Amino acid sequence: DEKGRHDFVTEVDRRSEETIIYHIKKAYPDHRFLGEEGGSSGNPDSDVEWIIDPLDGTTNFVRGIPHVGISIACRVKGRLEHAVILEPFKREEFTASRGSGANLNGRRIRVSGRLEKSGALYGTGIPFSDPSFSEMDNYLACMHEFADNSSGIRRMGAASLDLAYIAAGRMDVFWEMHLKPWDIAAGVLIVREAGGMVSDFQGGESFLERGHILACTPKLFKPSLKVLAKHLGHIR
């Protein structure tokens, strides 16, 4: 039944997060952690924080859709330094360290070289609950502008992997709102190390705090931001 499936997935989430934190703690016992399931833990005075999503794409997992991510980012003194996103079903490992580029299974990746909106492939997360749902009309206005003369819009259900796909050049633009730090922290660094651009809907850096994010190839950044600022720029 639905409750049984929910309880099972919650247990999978919890055990995955506990396992990740356990192994990191063995190497770094004095660090602190921010996880989807356990919230903040560890040493609150540490300059090093690990941001963990143990199962991104929970609904996909419940429904048997093989598209989920495990996302881990390391932030030092407030700055993202290391990141990994695992896709266990496809056995893909996206990694990045600040200043060292981004990789997929050990091979260097770059964002796409797309120069214009025509033919671009977009990714997003469709609002289905408050507070995002109250912005549905404005969100659909963005979709309308982005879809025109594009290659389409994908909604695959795991924001961490959407960002990883931007980094690997599989998609050109990704936007979503009301995400959590563990959804996007690792992906932000991987996109930037792959040559992409990331901002909030006003072109600023508040995406980890507020959860509204745009990530894309450099040439599409300004036109994409213009669309988001017009329809969703009022969101704080």
**pLDDT mean over 104-123:** 97
- Greatest CA separation for the chain: 52
pTM across the whole model:
0.94
CATH 3.30.540.10 fits 2-109, yes or no: yes
pLDDT of residue 129: 74
Predicted confidence (pLDDT) at residue 134 exceeds the cutoff of 80: yes
Q: Rounded distance, CA 1 to CA 167, Å? A: 38
According to DSSP, the β-strands at 152-154 and 121-124 are parallel
Q: Is 55 annotated as a binding residue?
A: yes
Predicted confidence (pLDDT) at residue 130 exceeds the cutoff of 80: no
Above pLDDT 70, what percent of the chain?
96
pLDDT of residue 6: 63
- Out of 110-124, 128-142, 150-164, 219-233, pick the least confident: 128-142
Q: Is 121 annotated as a binding residue?
A: no
| Whether 178 contacts 128, CB under 8 Å | no
**pLDDT mean over 163-179:** 98
**pLDDT tier, 3 (very low <50, low <70, confident <90, very high otherwise):** low
Q: Is 30 annotated as a binding residue?
A: no
Q: Is 225 annotated as a binding residue?
A: no
**pLDDT tier, 37 (very low <50, low <70, confident <90, very high otherwise):** confident
> Which segments of the chain belong to CATH 3.40.190.80?
121-231
**pLDDT tier, 135 (very low <50, low <70, confident <90, very high otherwise):** confident
Q: Which CATH architecture has domain 121-231?
A: 3-Layer(aba) Sandwich (3.40)
Q: Mean pLDDT over all residues of the chain?
A: 94
pLDDT of residue 10: 76
Q: What confidence tens digit (pLDDT) does each residue in 55-73 have? A: 999 889 988 999 999 999 9
pLDDT of residue 234: 87
**pLDDT mean over 134-155:** 94
Contacts of 9 (CB under 8 A, 6+ apart): 55, 58, 61, 62
pLDDT of residue 127: 83
List the 32-35 sheet strands across, edge first: 39-42, 32-35, 48-56, 69-76, 79-87, 92-97, 102-104, 107-109
Q: Rounded distance, CA 65 to CA 218, Å? A: 31
Q: Is 36 annotated as a binding residue?
A: yes
Collapsing DSSP to helix, strand or coil, 143 comes out as helix
> Which segments of the chain belong to CATH 3.30.540.10?
2-109
**pLDDT mean over 35-60:** 93
Query: What six digits make up the tokens of 111?
Result: 């964002």
Q: What confidence tens digit (pLDDT) does each residue in 175-187 have? A: 999 999 999 999 9
pLDDT of residue 5: 62
